[in-house]
């Protein structure tokens, strides 16, 4: 309780204090106190608005082998697909008509889409919808590639750091990947003028309160405009198939902590949260989240972009998704808005 009070008063804690706060997350009253403060801060900076981002999952090919992820290269059972530029633009057209003003292009790390192809797609979207923001979420690239995408018009970039602890990073990824490179990517993106999103999974295998504390210290240092956190959920075709899923209450607790740590941050109530709890996203908004990312991918491909088991919203048309989310957002006293929704300065 005392640490929660200190966090509210100073918007920061030391690493050891964060770890102690996380360990005491289920002490009576603590989560409620942080939730109230988080809701107050969100309201102060963003009113009751919840921004929607249209997620276009344009490829599930990936050259990486992250141990937790269902579309990792080594999963021979994954049915692979790629969207053409025309198909991506069709998703944007549908999204635009439904009021979306941010398009998020997410995919595995798929070398088939060369830098030139990605830049060309970004340019085409910005030409057609100059008032819309384009967000990329396509993994680790060189600074030069990031520069090219930025010059093509990309506004934002999502790259979760996954865990800020070196050793833990090594337990979730093959030796070919490193936290150092991941962090460097985030610093490069920031320097190039992107609005940057970092983040991590809650309850990934072997995660400790100390690891989460390091995540929070790293976020405070990086000062990203967006932070994506969601519970880890096992995928049956990975080596983590039998690991337990992350905790919904702890995810909600951390949403509040992050809102207080970075009051102006854009914070999604993730699909993973909605997958583990039918009202997970609503609870996320009550805990301080102010973004939702409904799917604009073609319905025929949605099941194929399977990062984890039982992912929700894979059978619906985009218009249905929008309507459903609108009702969910309103059920917690917020309003779903179709604006670019940049972070407040």
Residue 95 Cβ vs ligand SAH, minimum distance, rounded to whole Å? 19
Residue 9's CB: how many other CB atoms inside 10 A? 10
Binding site for ligand SAH (CB under 6 A): 68-69, 106, 108-109, 137-139, 159-160, 162, 201, 230, 232-233, 235, 272, 307-308
Structure tokens at 314: 């894979």
Q: Is 221 exposed, middle or buried (0-12, 13-18, 19+ CB in 10 A)?
A: exposed
Residue 272 Cβ vs ligand SAH, minimum distance, rounded to whole Å? 5
Distance CA 75, CA 66 (A): 11
Task: List for the chain the helix, strand, coil content (%; round to 5).
Answer: 45, 15, 40
List the alpha helices (DSSP H) in 47-129: 85-97, 115-128
**Closest CB to ligand SAH among residues 155, 162:** 162
Residue 162 Cβ vs ligand SAH, minimum distance, rounded to whole Å? 6
**Closest CB to ligand SAH among residues 24, 73:** 73
Residue 233 Cβ vs ligand SAH, minimum distance, rounded to whole Å? 4
The contacts of residue 105 (CB under 8 Å, 6+ apart) are 56, 58, 88, 118, 121, 122, 134, 135, 136, 137, 138
**Closest CB to ligand SAH among residues 30, 135:** 135
Residue 8 Cβ vs ligand SAH, minimum distance, rounded to whole Å? 28
**Closest CB to ligand SAH among residues 251, 286:** 251
Distance CA 205, CA 209 (A): 12
Residue 71 Cβ vs ligand SAH, minimum distance, rounded to whole Å? 8
Contact at 8 Å (CB) between 4 and 34? yes
**Closest CB to ligand SAH among residues 96, 146:** 146
Residue 110 Cβ vs ligand SAH, minimum distance, rounded to whole Å? 9
Distance CA 12, CA 8 (A): 8
Distance CA 321, CA 73 (A): 29
**Closest CB to ligand SAH among residues 48, 64:** 64
What is the DSSP-derived secondary structure letter of residue 244? P
**Closest CB to ligand SAH among residues 50, 159:** 159
């Amino acid at each position: 309780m005392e640490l929660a009070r200190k966090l509210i008063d100073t918007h920061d804690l030391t690493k050891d204090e964060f770890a102690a706060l996380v360990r005491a997350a289920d002490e009576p009253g603590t989560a409620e106190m942080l939730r109230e403060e988080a809701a107050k801060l969100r309201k102060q900076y963003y009113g009751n608005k919840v921004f929607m981002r249209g997620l276009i999952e344009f490829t599930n090919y990936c050259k990486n082998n992250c141990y937790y992820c269902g579309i990792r290269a080594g999963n021979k059972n994954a049915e692979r697909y790629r969207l053409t530029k025309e198909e991506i633009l069709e998703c944007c057209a549908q999204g635009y008509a439904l009021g979306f003003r941010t398009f998020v292009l997410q995919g595995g790390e798929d070398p088939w889409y060369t830098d030139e192809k990605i830049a060309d797609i970004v340019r085409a979207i910005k030409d057609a919808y100059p008032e819309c923001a384009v967000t990329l979420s396509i993994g680790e690239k060189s600074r030069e590639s990031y520069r090219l995408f930025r010059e093509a018009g990309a506004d934002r970039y999502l790259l979760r750091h996954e865990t800020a602890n070196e050793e833990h990073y090594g337990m979730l990824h093959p030796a070919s990947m490193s936290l150092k490179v991941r962090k460097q990517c985030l610093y490069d993106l920031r320097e190039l003028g992107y609005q940057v999103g970092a983040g991590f999974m809650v309850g990934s295998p072997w995660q400790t309160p100390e690891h989460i504390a390091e995540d929070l210290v790293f976020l405070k240092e990086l000062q990203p405009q967006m932070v994506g956190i969601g519970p880890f959920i096992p995928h049956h075709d990975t080596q983590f198939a039998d690991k337990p899923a992350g905790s919904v209450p702890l995810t909600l607790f951390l949403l509040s902590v992050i809102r207080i740590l970075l009051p102006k941050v854009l914070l999604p109530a993730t699909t993973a949260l909605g997958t583990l709890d039918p009202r997970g996203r609503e609870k996320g908004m009550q805990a301080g989240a102010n973004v939702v990312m409904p799917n604009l991918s073609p319905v025929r491909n949605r099941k194929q972009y399977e990062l984890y088991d039982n992912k929700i919203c894979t059978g619906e048309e985009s218009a249905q998704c929008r309507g459903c989310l609108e009702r969910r957002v309103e059920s917690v006293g917020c309003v779903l808005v179709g604006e670019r929704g940049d972070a407040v300065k």
